[in-house]
């Protein structure tokens, strides 16, 4: 029995696809929240998040958007703020053995919360 069979034997290939996308989204959130960001550095941070998350197993695509309106409103002597979940709109696409899942995180106004959810799964 290989390691993959040993540790993922209790879930289907479809569930594994969702797991890989969701674990990547969780890692993104907990690694990058609090990162200093400004209007001048936003593109670099978006790219760094994207590039690092695409290194995770089974991840084929990552889209990262940081709300620039919030950054343009920064009025402090340092011209930056800390990244928050409310500023992120992220999509992670994972694939595993013929299955694909799109995991999304974005701020949901009616919940007042940056929600992570399964957008689609095939």
Residues paired with 15 in a beta bridge: none
Q: Count CB neighbours of 102 within 10 A.
A: 18
Number of independent structural domains in the chain: 1
In a domain, 96, yes or no: yes
Q: pTM to 2 decimals?
A: 0.89
pLDDT of 117 above 90: yes
In a domain, 6, yes or no: no
Orientation of helix 13-32 relative to helix 42-53, angle to 10° = 150
Using a 10 angstrom Cβ sphere, with 0-12 exposed, 13-18 middle and 19 or more buried, the burial of residue 98 is exposed
In a domain, 81, yes or no: yes
CATH code of 96's domain: 3.30.1300.20
In a domain, 2, yes or no: no
Strands (E) in 9-58, as ranges, are: 36-37
- Read out DSSP for 77-109? TT--EE--GGGEEEEEEEEETTEEEEEEEEEET
pLDDT of 2 above 70: yes
In a domain, 1, yes or no: no
Q: How far apart are CA 68 and CA 58, in angstroms?
A: 30
In a domain, 4, yes or no: no
pLDDT tens, residue by residue, 31-69: 999 999 999 999 999 999 999 999 999 999 999 999 999
In a domain, 63, yes or no: yes
Q: Count CB neighbours of 89 within 10 A.
A: 14
In a domain, 100, yes or no: yes
Residue 63 sits in which domain range? Answer: 11-121
């Amino acid at each position: 029995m290989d390691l993959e069979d040993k540790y993922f034997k209790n879930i289907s290939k479809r569930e594994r696809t969702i797991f890989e996308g969701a674990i990547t989204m969780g890692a993104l959130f907990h690694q990058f929240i609090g990162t200093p960001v400004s209007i001048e550095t936003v593109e670099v941070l978006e790219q760094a998040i994207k590039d690092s998350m695409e290194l995770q197993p089974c991840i084929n695509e990552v889209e990262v958007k940081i709300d620039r309106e919030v950054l343009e409103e920064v009025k402090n002597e340092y011209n930056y703020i800390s990244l928050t979940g409310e500023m992120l709109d992220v999509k992670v696409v994972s694939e595993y053995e013929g299955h694909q899942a799109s995991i999304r995180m974005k701020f949901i106004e009616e919940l007042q919360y940056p929600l992570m959810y399964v957008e689609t799964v095939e």
